[in-house]
Amino acid sequence: MNKPNKLHTALITGSTSGIGLELTRSLLAEGWQVIGLNRSPFPAEQGDIQRALRSGQLHLVQANLTNYESLKIALDQIKLQLDTIDVLFNNAGGSAAELRFSDQGHEMHFELQTIVPYIIYMELYDLIRRSTFKTVVNTSTSAFSMVRQFNLDILERPTEFKKLFGPYATSKLGLSLWTREAAEAAKSDGMRLLSVDPGGNNTLRGSKKSGLPFYIKPVMKLFFPPPSHGASLLYSAAFSQTNHESGTFLIKNKPTELRFKEQGPFILKRVHEIYEQEFLCSTSAGSGNQKSD
């Protein structure tokens, strides 16, 4: 991995397809160094992406994000080889077709879309703090506007499964709530945390089992814009001249009030407990690699 002495550096999870891939492409075109933290490799048929990989402007760090040992190895590699990260885009996620559980036993949406972004944020905190932009953008959704009840039990131990409007929506709500709660402490280090709805995008892939309700798929195929639309909203959130207050949830780049804000402290407390008691403890043998000032 090339040391970004002059280039600004962004780290993007979920950057090998859809919105994340288009965001990667946009940043590369502007001369950024981009680190993709992904489970899958970048698509071989994308010539511009492959050229960026060969030149070292784009680098893949491969990991199973929902396995703490794999994630720890990847994050240690990043901390050893980078001095700063200007913008962290926690973008990995998606709506699964059925209820599944991670290697740690957490519901998969909760793991990937609520807990893992917090782990990555905490592990890379010092690199972000030492950078120029000091920005974290967490990809959220407006789908949780359909959530009628919400608390930590519903988030962590769902008793029923609904495509898109069940665990997917509640895990994204949990993400936005901890973003809001963690933002105040990060302000003291000049950091800005945002959660952003990238809007509706046609991210359908024929080879992937869909977690969307059957009635949404034809609408998405016919009427939703391409993933570059969502990428532009994430980009705008990070670099807009409008200096959005840290902790803000954005829809169409406009601050939007979150529901269930009273649950925020409980969500943040829980993800921090998991970070300390499960991630750090289960990977303590490799914890000596973190860089310090």
Residues 220-254 pLDDT 10s? 666 667 789 999 999 999 998 788 999 999 999 99
Taking the C-alpha atoms of residue 235 and residue 23, their distance in angstroms, rounded to an integer, is 7
The pTM of the full predicted model, rounded to 2 decimals, is 0.91
| Region class of 252: left (phi > 0), else alpha (psi between -120 and 50), else beta | left
Q: How many Cβ atoms from other residues are within 10 Å of residue 282's Cβ?
A: 13
pLDDT over 70 at 258, yes or no: yes
* pLDDT confidence band for 4 (50 / 70 / 90): very low
Of the chain, the percentage scoring pLDDT greater than 70 comes to 87
Taking the C-alpha atoms of residue 210 and residue 4, their distance in angstroms, rounded to an integer, is 38
Burial grade of 281 (CB within 10 A; 0-12, 13-18, 19 or more): exposed
Contact 119, 110 (CB under 8 A): no
Residues 169-214 pLDDT 10s? 999 999 999 999 999 999 999 999 999 999 887 666 655 566 776 6
Of the two residues 223 and 70, the one the predictor is more confident about is 70
User: What does the pLDDT read at residue 215?
Assistant: 66
User: What does the pLDDT read at residue 201?
Assistant: 72
Taking the C-alpha atoms of residue 164 and residue 15, their distance in angstroms, rounded to an integer, is 21
Average pLDDT estimate for 104-121? 98
Q: Which fold has domain 9-289?
A: Rossmann fold (3.40.50)
Domain boundaries, the chain: 9-289
Tell me the CA distances in angstroms from 247 to 78, 217, 265, one per residue in order: 25, 32, 13
- In this structure, is the dihedral angle defined by the CA atoms of residues 231, 55, 290 and 62, taken in order, positive or negative? positive
> Residue 11 belongs to what H/E stretch?
strand 9-13
Residues 79-98 pLDDT 10s? 999 999 999 999 999 989 89
Which 3 state secondary structure label does DSSP give 112? Answer: helix
CB burial of 217-250 (b: ≥16 within 10 Å; e: otherwise) equals eeeeeeebeebbbbbbbbbbbbeeeeebebbbbb
> Which two tokens mark 48?
């511009």
Residues 17-67 pLDDT 10s? 999 999 999 999 999 999 999 999 999 999 999 999 999 999 999 999 999
> Which two tokens mark 113?
């879309």
Residues 144-170 pLDDT 10s? 999 999 999 999 999 999 999 999 999
Helix, strand, coil percentages for the chain (3-state, nearest 5) = 45, 15, 40
pLDDT over 60 at 5, yes or no: no
Burial grade of 178 (CB within 10 A; 0-12, 13-18, 19 or more): buried
User: What does the pLDDT read at residue 73?
Assistant: 98
